[in-house]
Structure 1
Amino acid sequence: MWRGWSVLLAGLVGAVLLGRPAEAAPMLERAKPESRADAIAAALRRDPVYVTDHEPRALPPDAAARIKASVARLGVPTYVAVTPTSGLGPQNPSDSLASLLRDRLRRDGVYIVVPPSGGGGEVRHFGGARGLPLDDAWAAADFETPYDAGAPEVIARFVDIALSGHAGERRDHPRPRPKSKIRKALDADDAADRRASRIEWAVFGGGAALSGVPILGLLAGRRVLSARRARQPRKPPKKRTRKNTRKARR
């Protein structure tokens, strides 16, 4: 009896699910969580420069404004996403966040994805004329910026190189990498230590010189006095007479 009721109940549930497949699909779609690419693409529809708010210490308050001013010089539509990245770039084309953003936005232009620290990331151009040496400029900018340069600095250098007309040369023969902020701070501390050491030695030497002047004066005076005494003629000793001898005996 109980087994018969179980079979009947299972049949009814199956019939309901099979009879309403169109309603079940939207429910699954609504339950699907929004991906990171979807969230960033939605932000780029409102503003072509997206800057993450998860790393405020790594980015200055005016990061978005500085990036907009830099990419505006390219003269083409540019979409920038400053967000933590992992495994991006030419080595992992299947994991390209720039390609995912292009698929969501459906807009042609230059897409730049870069982490807040500025290192790594990727740049891609979809549609339109491809006259800018983006890949060479991006590689050269990575070589020519300090290790701790942020995203605004890297993007500004990238735009400078892309518009310089020598992106390929600067990629193959990059300029010396500037010192990082940490390196500059360490060099400044070393220079301050050297200056302090020179001042200490100067004070020590001056004090030693001043304290030694009286001693040198005394020694010089005694030497002069001794020399004068040596030059003076010695007087012969007085001869004793009998009279003086008697007085001495008394």
Structure 2
Amino acid sequence: MWRAWFVLIMTGLLGCLLAAPAAGLERANPVTRADHIAAELRRDPVYVTDHAQRVLPPDAAEQIKASVARLGVPAYVAVTPTIELGLDGAAEDLIALLRDRVREDGIYLVISPSTSDAGVRQFGGTRRLPVKDALQATRVELPSDATAPEQVARFVDVALSGRARERADRRGPRPESEVRKRLDADDAADRRAAYVEWGVFGGGAALTGVPFLAFLIHRRIRRAKPQRTKKPQPKKPQAKKPEKGRR
């Protein structure tokens, strides 16, 4: 009996010893986000995160595919948050990781759906496009809250325009975002309302003060007029009464 228990215990210990290295290896090499996105890009060259539905239209992937199809070269686009990657240049570093895992030449474009972080690089290929200038021009020409499909569409337009460097070097204020436009409109409405209120207040004060002002002016004019002094009238001589006893 004790032999059976001994064999059972030794078998369990041996199984634990064999499983421990495998578990440790799995923990040491977890599947990273770059691995996940690269696997998605191998199946579909456009990857759009499902964690930013509020800032992306429902057909974001279809719009991006239609835009990059005009480039005429292979393109891999990943729309994914980059702020949580823990990398120095999040988008640019993610591009290097994706290229290392996908192992295909082409344009790699990474765009954050909720921040202005974006990066692009072209690997290999006989047809070279000014992708860096095109991305810089996209940042200059679009407001900060432009959606990922809008950014990709503008990027493709600039890359194929033949004036990517010129447009990237353009100086001037960046277009206002929709949020900034709404805030400016609210400020303008508040100023107009304040002007109307002050106008009404001033008009009411003026109407109320006119009678009182007229009264003060009239009173001052009356005080300023010299008062006429009445000349004393000469007394009429009284007739002397006849003395009694004289005839």
Q: What's the CA shift string for 1:35-58, capped at 9, x where partnerless? A: 434433443355432210123233
Q: Could you tell me which of 22, 39, 58 is aligned with 1:61? A: 58
- Take 1:47 and 1:237, find their aligned partners in 2: how far apart are those partners? 121
Closer/same/farther in 2, CA of residues 62 and 209 from structure 1, 3 Å limit: farther
Q: Secondary structure at the match of 1:96?
A: helix
Q: Could you tell me which of 208, 211, 234 is aligned with 1:214? A: 211
Query: Does 2:188 match 1:191?
Result: yes
Worse-matched range after superposition: 87-96 or 36-45: 87-96
Q: Secondary structure at the match of 2:78?
A: strand
Q: State how many pairs are aligned.
A: 219
- Tell me which residue corresponds to 1:205: 202
Query: Does 2:134 match 1:137?
Result: yes
- Tell me which residue corresponds to 1:156: 153
Mapping for residues 1-250 of structure 1, pairs under 5 Å:
34-85=31-82, 86=85, 87=87, 96-100=96-100, 102-103=102-103, 106=104, 108-222=105-219, 236=231
Q: What's the CA shift string for 1:79-123, capped at 9, x where partnerless? A: 2111123437699669613413532xx4x5322122212523322
Amino acid at match of 1:36: R
Q: Secondary structure at the match of 1:81?
A: strand
Closer/same/farther in 2, CA of residues 169 and 237 from structure 1, 3 Å limit: same
Q: What's the CA shift string for 1:184-232, capped at 9, x where partnerless? A: 34433432332232222211211111111222333455567778x869x
Q: What's the CA shift string for 1:106-152, capped at 9, x where partnerless? A: 4x532212221252332233443323211221233234444444423
Closer/same/farther in 2, CA of residues 79 and 94 from structure 1, 3 Å limit: closer
Query: Larger helix proportion, structure 1 or 2?
Result: 1
Closer/same/farther in 2, CA of residues 175 and 79 from structure 1, 3 Å limit: farther
- Tell me which residue corresponds to 2:244: none
Is the contact between residue 109 and residue 125 of structure 1 (CA under 8 Å) also seen in structure 2? yes
Q: Secondary structure at the match of 1:58?
A: coil
- Take 2:217 and 2:64, find their aligned partners in 1: how far apart are those partners? 76
Worse-matched range after superposition: 194-203 or 68-77: 68-77
Is the contact between residue 91 and residue 111 of structure 2 (CA under 8 Å) also seen in structure 1? no
Is the contact between residue 144 and residue 175 of structure 1 (CA under 8 Å) also seen in structure 2? no
List structure 1 runs of 4+ shifted beyond 4 angstroms.
32-35, 88-95, 220-227, 233-243
- Tell me which residue corresponds to 1:247: none
Is the contact between residue 113 and residue 121 of structure 1 (CA under 8 Å) also seen in structure 2? yes
In structure 1, list runs of 5 or more residues that go unmatched: 18-24, 244-250
Closer/same/farther in 2, CA of residues 48 and 88 from structure 1, 3 Å limit: farther
In structure 2, list runs of 5 or more residues that go unmatched: 239-247
Closer/same/farther in 2, CA of residues 178 and 153 from structure 1, 3 Å limit: same
Q: Secondary structure at the match of 1:197?
A: helix
Q: Secondary structure at the match of 1:124?
A: strand
RMSD: 4.1
Deviation at 1:183, TM superposition (A): 3.6
TM-score w.r.t. length of structure 1: 0.64
TM-score w.r.t. length of structure 2: 0.65
Deviation at 1:182, TM superposition (A): 4.3
Identity of aligned residues (%): 57
Q: What's the CA shift string for 1:145-169, capped at 9, x where partnerless? A: 4444442333233223212222122
